[in-house]
Chains A and B, each alone.
Chain A
Amino acid sequence: MPGLLFLAAMGGLYAALYYFNHKTPIPAGCEVEEVSCHGCSISSCGKHPSQNYTLEVKQ
């Protein structure tokens, strides 16, 4: 049982950090790097085309 609570706490921490990180805007002048990333298939990557979350926030 303490194991489950510990795991839940870690999961919660991750969710919170993930959310706040994606709320934090990318500093000016850094967006261009997205172009340099092709050929990679990591879809969890923020630069992956399927990751349109940051764009949603901007709108």
Chain B
Amino acid sequence: MNKLDNFKAGFIKENPVFALYLGLCSVLAISTTLNNAVGMGVAVIIVLTVSNVIISAIRKVTPSEIRIPVYIVVIATLVKIVEMLIQAYATDLYGTLGIFIPLIVVNCIILGRAEAFASKNNMLDSLIDGIGMGLGYTFGLIILSATRQILATGILNFSNPFTSEMMFEVRLIPADYVISLFSTPAGAFLTFAMIAGALEAYKSKASKKVKEVK
């Protein structure tokens, strides 16, 4: 039960993106379309899960004094492998994410989970933690990207990253009422601030309720 709660907390209250401010760089930069968000999210889930498992597996033999360098080597290798795979099998996605794929190496969330969780827990728990945190990150990324894409273009669409085939496309706002500001960097910061503020407001409201019930 406790594990499930941890899993759920990663989505809203302890969302790595909006509540913990982890991995901001790539979040803001690639959050222009839903496609990018899903592609980046999947890449991060894979790297995070596999790195969690590997680091947990070698935690007994890793000298604690140099554990950070060990993590960095493991993560860099995984990221490069994922990058090569994306380049080979999802060329379009590679084209849009570009330099932000290698930058997953320095995404704080991966090193953060390695340090805070995988280095102290067994492989199964680390696997679950990796998937949970990765999904939470992807969730945050999707919320931000979808909001920006809808406000900036009025359209929400998603295409298969491997075949570039359009899977669905809906126009939610008439073309005359879209605000292209949200596709610019300023729009990214603004959307992020609003969502983070809303989450904070929701959290404080929820904790007030708990107090009242008590």
Residues of chain A whose beta carbon lies under 8 Å from any beta carbon of chain B: 11, 14-15, 18-19, 22, 39, 41-44, 50-51, 53
Interface stretch (choices B65-73, B96-104, B147-155, B196-204): B65-73
With A and B bound together, what is the CA distance between A44 and B116 in angstroms?
Answer: 11
Extra contacts, 9 of them, besides A14-B69, A18-B69, A42-B111 (Cβ < 8 A), are A11-B73, A15-B69, A18-B66, A19-B66, A41-B22, A43-B111, A43-B116, A44-B72, A53-B64
Question: Given that A11-B73, A50-B115, A50-B116 are known contacts, is A41 also in contact with B20, CB under 8 Å in the complex?
Answer: yes
With A and B bound together, what is the CA distance between A57 and B45 in angstroms?
Answer: 35
Shortest CB distance A46–B (Å):
9
Q: Are A19 and B65 in contact (CB under 8 A)?
A: yes
With A and B bound together, what is the CA distance between A43 and B68 in angstroms?
Answer: 9
Q: How many residues of B contact A (CB 8 A)?
A: 16
With A and B bound together, what is the CA distance between A53 and B67 in angstroms?
Answer: 10
Shortest CB distance B97–A (Å):
22
- What mask results when residues 109 to 130 of chain B are scored 1 for a CB within 8 Å of chain A, else 0? 0011001100000000000000
- What mask results when residues 169 to 200 of chain B are scored 1 for a CB within 8 Å of chain A, else 0? 00000000000000000000000000000000
* Central interface residue in A11, A15, A43, by most chain B CB within 10 Å: A43
Question: Given that A50-B115, A50-B116 are known contacts, is A39 also in contact with B21, CB under 8 Å in the complex?
Answer: yes
- What mask results when residues 16 to 34 of chain B are scored 1 for a CB within 8 Å of chain A, else 0? 0000111000000000000
A46 nearest CB neighbor, chain B only: B68
